[in-house]
Chains A and B, each alone.
Chain A
Amino acid sequence: MADEVQGSQKISVLNPVGYPPKITPKPMAPRLESLDGKTLYLVDPRFDDSGLFLSQVQNWFADHMPSVKTNLVEMSSVYTKDDPKTWEMIKANGDGAIIGVGH
Chain B
Amino acid sequence: MHAIALDSKYGVPTVAIHTNVFEKVVQSVTRMHGMPEARYTFVPQPVMGKTAEQLRAYVNGKSPISGRPVMQEVIEGLTRAAEGDGIREAKFERSTPRLMAADGEENLQRLFLDNNWTDKLPIVLPTEKRVAEMLAHTSRKPDEVAGHMRSNQFRQHWEFTVEKVAVNAVMAGARPEYFSVILALASSGVSARGSTTSSMAAMVVVNGPIRNEIAMNYGTGAMAPYNHANATIGRAYGLLSQNLQGGSLPGDSYMGSQGNGYAYGTVTFAENEERSPWGPFHVQHGFKPTDSTVSIFTGCRSTAFTLGVREKYWREHVRNMLRGMDAHSAPTFLLDPIAARQYIDRGGFDTKEKLIQWVYENALMLAGEYWDYQLIQNYIYPRATFGEEPYASKLKAAPDEMIRMFKPDEIHVVVVGGETNGYWRIMGCNYQKTVSVDEWR
Q: Which of B263-271, B381-389, B428-436 contacts A (4 or more CB under 8 A)?
A: B381-389
Contact of A103 among B1, B13, B99 (CB under 8 A): B1
Contact bitstring A36-56, B, C-beta under 8 A = 1, else 0: 000011010111111011011
A76 close to chain B: CB less than 8 A: yes
When the two chains form their complex, are residues B10 and A87 in contact, meaning their CB atoms are under 8 A apart? Answer: yes
When the two chains form their complex, are residues A31 and B47 in contact, meaning their CB atoms are under 8 A apart? Answer: no
Bound state CA distance, A77 and B126, in angstroms? Answer: 45
Chain B residues lying within 8 Å of A14, measured Cβ to Cβ, are: 98-100, 126-128, 131, 163, 167
The 4 closest A-B pairs by CB, nearest first: A100-B17, A18-B244, A26-B8, A48-B48
Given A23-B91, A102-B17, 14 further pairs, Cβ under 8 A: A8-B104, A15-B96, A17-B243, A20-B158, A24-B92, A28-B35, A29-B11, A33-B79, A45-B2, A47-B378, A74-B385, A78-B378, A78-B383, A90-B12
Contact bitstring A63-103, B, C-beta under 8 A = 1, else 0: 01000000000111111101100011011001111111111
**Chain A residue, CB-CB nearest to B82:** A28
When the two chains form their complex, are residues B128 and A59 in contact, meaning their CB atoms are under 8 A apart? Answer: no
Contact bitstring B73-93, A, C-beta under 8 A = 1, else 0: 011001111100001001111
B71 close to chain A: CB less than 8 A: yes
Distance from A44 Cβ to chain B, minimum over Cβ atoms (Å): 10
B50 close to chain A: CB less than 8 A: yes
Query: How many residue pairs between the two chains, A and B, have CB atoms under 8 Å in the bound complex?
Result: 274
Chain A residues lying within 8 Å of B95, measured Cβ to Cβ, are: 19
When the two chains form their complex, are residues B128 and A98 in contact, meaning their CB atoms are under 8 A apart? Answer: no
B279 close to chain A: CB less than 8 A: no
When the two chains form their complex, are residues A22 and B49 in contact, meaning their CB atoms are under 8 A apart? Answer: no
Q: Count residues of chain B with CB under 8 A from any CB of chain A.
A: 100
When the two chains form their complex, are residues A22 and B19 in contact, meaning their CB atoms are under 8 A apart? Answer: no
Q: Count residues of chain A with CB under 8 A from any CB of chain B.
A: 75
When the two chains form their complex, are residues A11 and B16 in contact, meaning their CB atoms are under 8 A apart? Answer: no
Distance from B171 Cβ to chain A, minimum over Cβ atoms (Å): 6
When the two chains form their complex, are residues A52 and B52 in contact, meaning their CB atoms are under 8 A apart? Answer: yes
Bound state CA distance, A83 and B80, in angstroms? Answer: 26
Bound state CA distance, A9 and B9, in angstroms? Answer: 54
B239 close to chain A: CB less than 8 A: yes
Q: Which of B55-63, B332-340, B365-373 contacts A (4 or more CB under 8 A)?
A: B55-63
Contact of A101 among B32, B37, B47 (CB under 8 A): B47
Bound state CA distance, A31 and B79, in angstroms? Answer: 5
When the two chains form their complex, are residues A16 and B168 in contact, meaning their CB atoms are under 8 A apart? Answer: yes
Contact bitstring B335-364, A, C-beta under 8 A = 1, else 0: 000000000000000000000000000000
B323 close to chain A: CB less than 8 A: no
B149 close to chain A: CB less than 8 A: yes
**Chain B residue, CB-CB nearest to A64:** B71
